Structures are given as structure tokens and as C-alpha cells.
Amino acid sequence: MTAAAQNPLIFPEKNRYKPETGERFAALFKADLALQDGPAWLKALRYSALTGLERRGLPTARLERWKYTNFASIVDQFTAAPVPADLREVDPDNLVERLVDNLSNPQEWLEEILSEQDENMARYGDMMLWDLNSLFLKDGLVVDVPAGKAVDKAVEVNFSISDGTAAMPRLVIRLGEGAELSLIERHNAIGKSWHNGVTQIIVGPNARLRHYRIQDSHPEAVHSQNTAVRLMRDASYESFTLTTGAGMSRNQIHAFIEDTNAACHIKGINLLRGSQHADTTAEIEHRAGHGTSSQLMRSVITDQAHGVFQGKVLVHKDAQKTDGTQLSNALLLSEGAEMDTKPELEIYADDVKCAHGATTGQLEDDPLFYLRSRGLSENEARLLLIQAFVDEVVDGLGDESVQQSVSAKVEQWLTEQN
């Protein structure tokens, strides 16, 4: 045994964190007496977040999970205390409540879930942005769908954040046994703003949540989002994110299949241009057997834009008969466009079916020539091929109104390329 291994103090591990990047927010918190007040559980939550933030700061590229996305410096410009996001909901069945009305005396389940740490992030020491959200926890929404209720009309939430401000909204969504809901989020932040959201979801036994996000914020906006989903027995969670907006975005989803025969499908389309940087990090953890999961990403990247996909499927020893797939395809339309992909499988069960794949490439010459030989201009041919590339994701979306608005947005984006 070497001396270093016997005594780790001889060569202490280099600190991966940069605590100083969190100081500004710690100070803003300490200066706000109202935030330090409140019920005991909320104080405990905020102070634990403060400890975390003071220890770790904000994520930098020194962390393995952030190696493609150097986040901390991007948000240097935000020096004022976070403000509430402007949330407007379309809520035909009156399911949505304001979080702020629930904080002083929440129901037990809500208090419990708000106090939870995302276990996965805790494992990787990557709860900085979550902690920051907890530190300023105040505004957001609660959607609690009672058991057996199948909601016909989608709930829509429009997020708007003003130029120069940061907002830390929290969403909590719970579906009781057999409940069904479609939730559509539209993000249209303005100017140099920062959305640092946390969404916590419980999909109860045999319940089904379809979760759509259309993120079309200003090209100078920063968008970071953490979503933690728990799936109970026979539950189904389908998520789709269209990313066309924000100069810097990190969309992180962690799904936990807690009980048998649950299904989790995470899809996304990234259309990136200019100097946009968009990072999708998805991890699906199978803790019970007979679960199905998939991750499907399609990215179209041009100019100097940079896409990142980090996908992981983790299958625990007891999660036999798991079926997990993971696929990321990226189309690079310019010399300067870049895509980093890190697909991972971590499997401890022996009877599973898991597959992953990733491709990054350009439009192929043969189809382009074939289409042009039939009379399409080079431009028309390119548009048709790019459209076809993303359509596979759009076509399977389920909700027709979402499908239409996504198609329209994709078409608009493609047209603007010319």
C-alpha cells in the first residue's frame, strides 16, 4: 500500500467545487429577513440549502456531470435577489394552486416532498442548482390530481421572466392512483433573465402524466431546470421538451421507477443556432422490475451553437425484465456547430434489455441529390430532410394541439435559417 492510500491527507483530493461562486446568493439570502422566517420545516430546508451552497457553490466544468457545460460564470451577471416568476396558467378544471399560499401550512405530503432531496443528485454531489432554488423557495405551483380523475383538458402554464432578473419557481405535481393529466409548459423569458426551476412529480399507481415543455426564451436568457419524477406501480410518465430558446440551458431530468411495470419516456428536440448552448441531462433509474424506459433526442445545430446530451439508464439488481433504450441523433449544419454526447448504461440486473446509440453527422449527399434531381431546390431539399429528421419525435407526441404548435415552431425555425 502506498503512503497516499494509507493517509489521504498527504495528497488531499483537489476540491472539485468552487464555493465562492455561491457566496453572492448566500449573502442575498442572509440579507432577506423574510426568507429566514417561516415554519420550522421550511427554515430547515432553506438552511440545509444554504449549507450546501456555501460548501459547493454553483456548478463548473470541473465536475464530471458538468464537463460540457460551464455554468457558474454564465450567471455572474445576476447580482440581485431572485424575484417571483410571472406564472400564468390555463386551468379549466381548477387544479392549480399557488405554492406561496401553501407554504405557511402545507399538507403533510407537500411538506414531505418539498423537503426531499433528489437522491440522485445527492449521490453525485450535484444539488447546487436545486439548493439555490430551495434557498429562495417561495413561488411556484402545486397541481394535485385526485385519484381516479382523468383530466380531459390540458393544464397550461406560461412562464415569463423579466429582463435582468432571476426567478426560482418550484412546481409540485402529484397524480393519485389512476389519474391522468397533460401539462404544457411554455417558457418565454425575456432578455437577460435566468430561470432556475425545480419540478417535483409523483405519478401514482396506474396514473399517467404527459408533460410538454416548449422553451423559447430570449437568446440571451439562461434556463436551468431540474425535474425529479417518481413513478409508482403501472405508472406512466411521458415528457417532451422543445428547446429553441435561451443562450444557455441545462434541462436535467431524473426519473425513478419505484415500483413494477412503470413506463418512462423522455423525448426532446433541440434546434440551436447562433452561440446557443443547450444541455440535456437525463437519468432514468430502474428500481423495480418490468419497467420500460426510453430517451430519444434529436438535435439540429447550426452556426456556432453547442448541444449536449448526457443520458443514463441505471438498472438496479432487482429491476429484472427492464427494457431501456436511449438514442441521440444530431445533425450539424455548419462547420462551427458542435455536439457532445455521453450515453451511459449502468446495469446490475442480469435479465434486462437495454440499448443505446448516438449519431452525429451532416445531411447526406445522396438524398439531397435525389431530391434535387426531382426538381427541389437545394434549400427545399435541405428543409425537407431536416424536417424529416425531427418529425419522428414530433409525430409521436400524443397531444394534437402540442404536436401542431411544435410543428409550427419547427417550421418557423427552419424557415428562419434561410
What are the b/e assignments for 11-34, b being 16+ CB within 10 Å?
A: eeeeeebbeebbebbbebbeeeee
| Contact status: 164 vs other proteins (CB under 8 A) | no
What stretch of H or E contains 323? strand 323-332
Q: Which of 377, 401, 404, 412 touches other proteins (CB under 8 A)?
A: 377
Shortest distance (Å) from residue 368 CB to other proteins: 9
Shortest distance (Å) from residue 344 CB to other proteins: 27
Q: Which of 218, 239, 214, 413 is nearest to 331 (CA)?
A: 413
| Contact status: 388 vs other proteins (CB under 8 A) | yes
Shortest distance (Å) from residue 147 CB to other proteins: 40
Q: Which of 12, 33, 37, 375 touches other proteins (CB under 8 A)?
A: 375
Q: Which of 345, 356, 292, 290 is nearest to 318 (CA)?
A: 290
Site string for other proteins, 43-62 (x = CB under 8 A): --------------------
In the bound state with other proteins, the residue whose beta carbon lies nearer, of 373 and 418, is: 373
Residue whose cell numbers read 436545486:
130
d(CA 219, CA 197): 18
What stretch of H or E contains 15? none
Site string for other proteins, 130-159 (x = CB under 8 A): ------------------------------
| Contact status: 387 vs other proteins (CB under 8 A) | yes
In the bound state with other proteins, the residue whose beta carbon lies nearer, of 51 and 379, is: 379
| Contact status: 370 vs other proteins (CB under 8 A) | yes
| Contact status: 363 vs other proteins (CB under 8 A) | no
**Cα torsion at 97, 139, 38, 101 (round to 10°)?**
-20
| Contact status: 365 vs other proteins (CB under 8 A) | yes
Shortest distance (Å) from residue 100 CB to other proteins: 45
Q: Which of 2, 105, 373, 415 touches other proteins (CB under 8 A)?
A: 373
Between the alpha carbon of residue 228 and those of residues 4, 199, 238, the distances in Å are 38, 6, 13
d(CA 284, CA 76): 31
What are the b/e assignments for 392-414, b being 16+ CB within 10 Å?
A: ebbeebebeebbebbbebbeebb
CA atoms within 13 A on the CB side of 22: 26
Number of residues near other proteins (by CB under 8 A)? 21
CA atoms within 13 A on the CB side of 256: 13
| Contact status: 414 vs other proteins (CB under 8 A) | no
| Contact status: 378 vs other proteins (CB under 8 A) | yes
| Contact status: 380 vs other proteins (CB under 8 A) | yes
Binding region for other proteins (CB under 8 A): 365-367, 369-378, 380, 384-385, 387-389, 391-392
